[in-house]
């Protein structure tokens, strides 16, 4: 049972059924109360009409035995004097018992009485102020029983005070049967008790079926994701329903996530393969030199061994930095440094490198070591490709600080301007590996730029060659 209620379909069905049940019970109770109130109002109007007809006849001088009273079974009538003794009763009426009087409920008032109260006068006349031949304006209502021909039934009673033409004060009670109200309410209640369960069953069934159909694509997505997890085949995709609802957006987002994950895994595999390939060459060269030196010490190429060791150290450092960047390492948000000072430090001692523009302080936020690494990589790349000179310029453009490095080499073809920032990419495959590097410098530079909220792009230099521009946000 717990497992069944754990499903979205079961919970949705249960919730919908409960909501409909509460709504139907509330609506049914309101309907029953409204129906009962309406029928009681009708009974009050009927009883009031009968009572006033009898009271009017008494006020006009009709004798008690001359009153024309309705059938007691339909509208029992009883006329009482001030000692509560019956002086006239309807046909076949054996007794009337009014158990409750709604003393605060009045049928109507004359316009004069309403005007009197509006003007602050006294309340309307009561029975003690009535004169001979007058009927009270107020009607008192209540419920009770009447026994007619030995059968007792419930009635709604109206009471009206009257003073006969001879000056005798009387009270006329007339009833209207509540059987119609009781039958109508009972019928409505029975219909609701029968219809409510049937309606709830229908709502439950429809909700269950509709929810099942709505969640069918979700189950397809779950099953495909389980299959992808089991097979570890990230090239597979979950089915996308041909709708425009949340489930379709979920499927599209899932496929986008799978595509990004596949790209990341492929990139990681390529990175590991390329790193292994790049490490293999210096390690093999160093091992060869050491083995030769072990057998023939006089043939040891010490400079070559040191060069291979340095190259291994640089490559390991680059790989470690890329790993930290891939892990999401970001500079401290409050760290600040002078970028102009970094430019001076990195360009100092480099042949053929000139610095253009002002030399005033340019403060930026981020990691000084990482940004210095970017500039160093750009200068190393420009130095390998330049014919004679490399130019460095530092300027401010709006909210950005722009650091440009230009060379007078052959430049980067437009088709390769995105690819040049990929890892282990060297556009000039004929370049000697020792001169060309491992192809990680520009990839590291762009990753650092992105981590600092900036960009790194390549274009054409004004005098020919490549122009690399590092843009960092200027934050005060």
Q: Specify whether the CB–CB gap between 188 and 195 falls below 8 A.
A: no
- Looking only at the bridges linking them, the beta strands covering 390-397 and 353-356 are parallel
Average pLDDT of every residue of the chain:
82
Same domain, 301 and 423: no
Same domain, 171 and 35: yes
Same domain, 360 and 439: yes
CA angle 444, 446, 451 (to 5 degrees): 95
Instruction: Provide the 8-state DSSP code for 137.
Output: S
For the chain, first and last CA: distance in Å? 62
CATH number where 167 lies: 3.30.450
Boundary residue ending a domain (184, 201, 235): 184
Q: Could you give phi then psi for residue 180, rounded to 5 degrees?
A: -65, -45
In 60-98, which ranges are continuous DSSP H helix? none
Same domain, 320 and 392: no
Boundary residue ending a domain (160, 184, 208): 184
Give residue 269's pLDDT band: very low, low, confident or very high (50, 70, 90).
confident
pLDDT tens digits along 185-195: 889 999 888 98
- How many domains are contained in the chain? 3
Nearest to 436 by CA among 444, 427, 445: 427
pLDDT at 201 > cutoff 50: yes
pLDDT tens digits along 11-29: 888 888 999 999 999 999 9
Distances (CA, A) of 155 to 92, 114, 175, 372: 15, 30, 6, 101
Boundary residue ending a domain (291, 326, 361): 326
pLDDT at 308 > cutoff 80: no
| Domain enclosing residue 346, as ranges | 336-473
CATH number where 276 lies: 1.10.287.130
Q: Specify whether the CB–CB gap between 329 and 336 falls below 8 A.
A: no
Q: Could you give phi then psi for residue 362, rounded to 5 degrees?
A: -130, 105
In a domain, 142, yes or no: yes
H helix or E strand, kind and range, residue 217? helix 179-231
Same domain, 101 and 169: yes
In a domain, 7, yes or no: no
Same domain, 342 and 260: no
| pLDDT at res. 128 | 53
Same domain, 59 and 180: yes
pTM: 0.50
Q: Specify whether the CB–CB gap between 77 and 93 falls below 8 A.
A: yes
What is the C-alpha to C-alpha distance for residues 367 and 331, in angstroms, rounded to an integer?
5
| pLDDT at res. 430 | 38
| pLDDT at res. 100 | 57
| pLDDT at res. 329 | 72
């Amino acid at each position: 049972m717990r497992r069944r209620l754990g499903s979205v379909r079961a919970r949705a069905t249960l919730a919908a059924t409960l909501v409909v049940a509460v709504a139907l019970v509330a609506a049914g109770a309101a309907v029953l109360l409204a129906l009962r109130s309406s029928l009681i109002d009708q009974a009050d109007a009927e009883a009031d009409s009968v009572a006033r007809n009898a009271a009017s006849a008494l006020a006009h001088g009709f004798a008690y035995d001359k009153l024309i009273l309705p059938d007691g079974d339909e509208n029992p009538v009883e006329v009482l004097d001030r000692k509560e003794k019956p002086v006239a009763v309807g046909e076949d009426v054996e007794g009337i018992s009014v158990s409750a009087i709604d003393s605060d409920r009045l049928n109507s008032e004359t316009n004069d009485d309403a005007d009197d109260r509006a003007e602050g006068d006294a309340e309307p006349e009561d029975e003690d102020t009535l004169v001979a031949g007058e009927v009270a304006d107020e009607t008192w209502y209540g419920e009770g029983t009447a026994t007619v021909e030995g059968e007792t039934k419930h009635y709604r009673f109206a009471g009206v005070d009257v003073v006969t033409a001879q000056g005798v004060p009387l009270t006329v009670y007339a009833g209207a049967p509540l059987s119609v109200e009781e039958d109508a309410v009972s019928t409505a209640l029975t219909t609701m008790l029968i219809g409510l369960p049937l309606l709830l069953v229908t709502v439950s069934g429809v909700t269950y079926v509709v929810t099942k159909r709505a969640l069918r694509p979700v189950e397809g997505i779950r099953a495909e994701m389980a299959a992808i997890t089991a097979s570890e085949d990230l090239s597979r995709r979950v089915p996308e329903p041909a709708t425009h609802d949340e489930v379709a957006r979920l499927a599209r987002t899932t496929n986008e996530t799978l595509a990004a994950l596949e790209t990341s895994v492929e990139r990681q595999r390529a990175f590991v393969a390329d790193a292994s390939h790049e490490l293999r060459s210096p390690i093999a060269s160093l091992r060869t030199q050491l083995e030769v030196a072990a057998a023939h010490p006089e043939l040891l190429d010490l400079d070559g061994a040191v060069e291979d060791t340095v190259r291994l150290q640089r490559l390991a450092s680059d790989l470690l930095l890329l790993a930290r960047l891939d892990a999401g390492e970001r500079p401290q948000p409050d760290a600040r440094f002078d970028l102009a000072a970094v430019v001076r430090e990195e360009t100092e001692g480099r042949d053929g490198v000139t610095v253009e523009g002002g030399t005033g302080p340019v403060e930026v936020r981020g990691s000084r070591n990482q940004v210095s690494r970017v500039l160093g990589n750009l200068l190393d790349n420009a130095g390998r490709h330049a014919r004679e000179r490399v130019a460095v310029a530092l300027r401010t453009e709006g909210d950005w600080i722009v650091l440009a490095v230009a060379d007078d080499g052959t430049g980067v073809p437009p088709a390769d301007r995105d690819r040049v920032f990929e890892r282990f990419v060297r556009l000039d495959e004929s370049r000697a590996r020792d001169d060309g590097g491992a192809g990680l410098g520009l990839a590291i530079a762009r990753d650092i730029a992105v981590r600092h909220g900036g960009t790194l792009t390549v274009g054409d230099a004004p005098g020919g060659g490549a122009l690399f521009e590092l843009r960092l946000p200027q934050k005060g």
